[in-house]
Amino acid sequence: MDFTVKPRRSLIVYLYSMKQVRQLKRFGLIQYQSRKQHYVVLYMDEHQIPAATTKIKKLNFVRKVEPSYRPDVAMNFGERVDQGFFKPTTTGAPDDDDDEED
47 pLDDT more than 70: yes
Q: pLDDT of 76-102, one tens digit each?
A: 777 766 666 656 666 666 665 566 565
Domain tally, the chain: 1
pLDDT of residue 23: 94
Let me know if residue 61 belongs to a domain: yes
pLDDT above 70: residue 51: yes
Residue 25: per-residue pLDDT: 94
Q: What is the CATH number of the domain that holds 42?
A: 3.30.70.920
Q: Which domain holds residue 16?
A: 8-73
Q: Please tell me the predicted confidence (pLDDT) of residue 29.
A: 94
Instruction: Confirm whether 67 is domain-assigned.
Output: yes
Does the pLDDT at position 55 exceed 90?
yes
What is the tally of helices (H) and strands (E) in the chain? 2, 4
37 is a domain residue: yes
Measured CA distances, 29 to 1, 54, 86 (Å): 26, 17, 37
Output phi, psi for 18, to 5 deg. -85, 0
